[in-house]
Amino acid sequence: MALVGPGLTEDVDEEALTANVLWEAVTGKPGTQTWYEHVRVTCRCGHCEAERKAANDAAYADRRDRTARAKVEPATEKQVKYLNTLVAKVGRERFDTAFAEAVKGTKVAPRSADEKTGQALKRLTKATARKLISELVGP
């Protein structure tokens, strides 16, 4: 649980704040919860939000960097090999539909009519290969 909002965090004794006390403060009726649950007080003022955003940016910087690289790095050999296996199982029509869906909105061009499957797969990035695998494995 969290207590969030302007003016809600001033003069609050966090040690005495329980779910029952919070329920009574909001509804005016006594709470019926028989167990204790910690209530986290979140300050949404400007400097606290800036600190939280900076901590979040630092914590997820590596993940954002990996995601950005996956959008431009070519698909791995394992991905291409697995996709070749999937194409043999699902058929060309389903592959063409899934390929078009996977590359939509990316820098990878759609498959041309005379392009072989292997050539199309080698043009994929890591991210589009992942998306295509999900499209082909899904129901």
pLDDT of residue 130: 93
Residue closest to 39 by CA, chosen among 75, 86, 3:
3
Q: Give yes or no for residue 125 having a pLDDT over 60.
A: yes
Q: Match 């403060």 to its residue by tokens.
A: 25
Q: Give per-residue pLDDT as tens, 10-63.
A: 666 666 667 777 777 777 787 777 666 666 777 888 898 999 999 999 999 999
Q: What is the pTM of this model?
A: 0.56
At residue 109, the 3 state secondary structure works out as coil
User: What are the sequence ranges of the domains in the chain?
Assistant: 2-70, 77-137
CA distance 101 to 32: 51
pLDDT of residue 56: 93
pLDDT of residue 78: 95
Q: What amino acid is encoded at 91 in this protein?
A: G
Q: Give yes or no for residue 1 having a pLDDT over 70.
A: no
Question: Residue 42: what are its φ and ψ, rounded to 5°?
Answer: -115, 120
pLDDT of residue 3: 56
Q: Give per-residue pLDDT as tens, 63-88.
A: 999 888 888 899 999 999 999 999 99
Q: Give yes or no for residue 6 having a pLDDT over 80.
A: no
CA distance 70 to 82: 18
Q: Give yes or no for residue 116 having a pLDDT over 60.
A: yes
Q: What amino acid is encoded at 109 in this protein?
A: A
Average pLDDT of the segment spanning 109-128: 90
Q: How far is CA 133 from CA 15, 27, 85, 119, 124, in A?
A: 50, 50, 11, 16, 11
Q: How far is CA 90 from CA 3, 82, 97, 112, 127, in A?
A: 51, 12, 11, 19, 21
pLDDT of residue 11: 61
